[in-house]
Each structure stands twice: as structure tokens, then as C-alpha cells.
Amino acid sequence: MDALDAKYPFFASAREAVAEAAVSLPELVAADAPAVERARERVERALLEGTVASESGAFPGESAYDTQAELLSYPIARILVSLLDSAPAIEKYAAAEAATAMERIRRDLDTDDELRSVSSATVALDDLLAEFDLAGAVRPDPGSPAGVRGGAVGGGSGAGSGAATVGSGAGRDSDHYRIAVGPYLRLTSPEWGDSWRLVNRALADGTVRVSRDELLAALEAAVEDRVADGLPFELAADEGIAAALESRVADLRRLLSERTYAEPPDVVAPALFPPCMTNLIEKAERDAALSSAESFALMAFLVGIGMTPDEVVAFCADTSLDAEGIRYQTEYLTDERGTQYPPPTCETLANYGICHNEDDHMQVAADPLSYYEKRVGATDEVTDWRAGRETDEPSEA
């Protein structure tokens, strides 16, 4: 097992590494090995935040032991998701694995060739294409300036007529690529927008022209499909894994049970926000960093009351929260895959040290959205923060 296996655990080489290690997953689970807790974190962060990266920010590991725990957390996470047996959970988990992988892939592709040559924990674009059997289906576009500079190198196994494979370093720097129509249709969706519809694409010799970012989006979809493939699966009753993971699965089910969409009050009135949300906003306004749990709770609340990502960015402009991070998280919370997520209940927030039950407000409502809705309903005249912004914006001629 090496760091690249742990970094991209859905690669075929990573599966082989797990098999060759002859590690017993039931024994790991029974022993409550570090990989088990990391697997739980992997699934929880996927459901809450759209990432499977460790909250510590470290990636593996400073030792072979850390690398092994990171890699083995992936098959155990798949077990946890299977035990949840929830279609929205599977979709969110697969999307989070893919999104995290693509963040790492982009960093790898931006790594200088000299650094790449001494690091075994990075991948090149041709590695990714080979991993998903796309080596013969993708080539740099000859009309792209960068593609001309880098050129298309090698024929590669499976390359069709006129379809050269991407070479290490060269194709990586191309602006545009050509992808065969079949793989393009398989990996993309018209639901991504009109620009993805085949009728709106430049076709030539059975290939579709795509930008570098569009090719990476297609590869992210390939990762998501691979992660979701086979989920959920049945576990052998005699292995005892389900029983050993029962408490962790129960915690994850509780998180899922809180994730039901509710119609927002459709008004943004900061003076009526629940105390916990007001506290988080004031903390961020003091330029203090919010924990991931605090950030999620606040973003989910603001989205839950009907704010768009742009409005949340504007609302938090004078806080410690990063605009790019806000946009990423709010877009994730409002996407159309699976369940849309309101903030956790007051009880869960209390467990994270976020809710302190000020004025015994848990007797009023069990969650921030319900509390806010009741306060809005009990107020005769409510000023909407968004209305104030509209009057300040210059009108278009």
C-alpha cells in the first residue's frame, strides 16, 4: 500500500493493494481499528459537507500505518453506506468521493513535471484516462494552441484511427480535447446545462470538442459512477460486521433523519434568527474561524430560509468566512441530487457545543428552522434583508 492508493482508493491498483494485504475487514471492525473511525468520518463529512477529506486536513499520513488506515477506510465506508441503505445517502457519498478526488487530481495536474518525477503520489492525465479505459477515446484538440505545443504522443493500446493518447505532461497542458461521442454521452448529462447537449457541440470525425475543465468534469462523473457501482450490497450475516458497526450506523441514520427538506419561511430577518445562528454570525464577524460543524450549521440554516449562494456570500461579506468556500458549500446544500439539507437539530448542535438552549428555546422548537419560522410567524412586521439590498443596488438602464 502506498500513498497513491490511499489518495485514490477507487483505482484498480488500490483494490489490488487491499486484496494483496489480505487484511480482514471483519477483524478490523471488531478491533475498532483507526480505519473504522476514519470511515465513519468519511461518510459523515460526505453527508454533511460534500467532502470525504479528513477534518484534520492531513493527508495520509506521515507513516505507512496512516496510509493503510486511510486506504482501508474506503471499503469500510462503503460498508457503512450499504448498511444505511438510503439512495440519497449513496448519491451524496459517491458525489463527495468524486469531488474530493477531483480536487486532488487538479492539484496533481498542476504539479510541476520535476516535482512529479520525484513523487509517486501524483497522477497525470494519461493515468486517469487509462484508469477509466479512455486512453483511446481522448486526445488533445489540434486546434488548441496549447494542444499544438504539447502535441499528441503515442498510439497507446486501444487507440482508434486518428485517436492518439495523451502523453504525460504534454496533453495535461492542452486547453481543449477531443473525446469520442460514445464516452461523451456516457459520462455527461444534458441536465448539466444546454451547453452539454450534443447538438450544441462541435463534432468532427466522431469526436466532441471539450475544454480541459469539461474533460475533468466528465472524469469526475466517471469517478462518481465507479464509487456508486455496487452500492448498496448485502453483507454476510455470519461476519458480524453489521452488529459491530451498529452504533456508528445509528449515528449516521440520525443525521439522515434530520435531512428532510422543509419549505423556507421565504424571508431573511437576522433579528429573528435563532440564538445559535446569531452567535455563529457574531463569531465570524469577529474574524474568528468557524469549525466545519459550525460552518455547516450556519450555511445550512441560511440556505434553509431560502437564500441563494450569491445572497449568502453577500450576507457574510464582512465575516471570516471565505467567499469561495461559502459558494461551494451552499451550492452543495442546494443541489438537486438526493435530499436537500436543513441544519441539524438543536440536540445535535448542542452535542457539537453550538447550541446552548438560551431562553430554553428547545421548548419552542426542536431545530433552528422551526424556531425561526415560529418567530417570523409571531412577528407582525418583518423587514427582509434582501429587500434592503435591492434598494441599494443601482438600477439598470
- Residue 108 CB partners (closer than 8 Å, separation 6+): 116, 122, 123, 124
Predicted pLDDT at 152: 35
Cα of first residue to Cα of last residue in the chain, in angstroms, is 63
**What residue type is assigned to position 91 of the chain?**
E
**Position 331 confidence tier, pLDDT thresholds 50, 70, 90:** confident
pLDDT in tens, 158-204: 333 333 344 333 344 688 999 999 999 999 988 787 888 898 898 99
Residue 157 pLDDT exceeds 80: no
77-132 tens-digit pLDDT:
999 999 998 888 898 899 889 989 998 999 888 876 555 555 557 899 999 999 99
Q: Which residue has the higher pLDDT, 212 or 238?
A: 212
Residue-level pLDDT at 144: 66
Percent of the chain with pLDDT over 90: 43
Check whether 63 has a pLDDT greater than 70: no
What value does the mean pLDDT of the chain take? 82
Q: 213: helix, coil or strand?
A: helix
352-373: per-residue pLDDT in tens? 888 888 878 777 777 888 889 8
pLDDT at 319: 94
Q: How far is CA 368 from CA 64, 78, 321, 334, in A?
A: 43, 31, 20, 18
Band of pLDDT at residue 346, cut at 50, 70 and 90? confident
Residue 349: per-residue pLDDT: 85
In the predicted structure, residue 308 carries a pLDDT above the cut 50: yes
Among 33-37, 144-148, 166-170, 251-255, the least confident range: 166-170
pLDDT of residue 167: 39
Predicted confidence at residue 337, as pLDDT, reads 43
Place of cell 489540434: 142
Query: Residue 309: is the preceding peptide bond cis (ω within 30°)?
Result: no
Closest C-alpha among 381, 348, 388, 392 to residue 44: 348
Return the CA Rg of the chain.
24
Confidence (pLDDT) at 119: 54
User: 300: which residues sit within 8 A by CB, 6+ positions away?
Assistant: 333, 341, 342, 343, 344
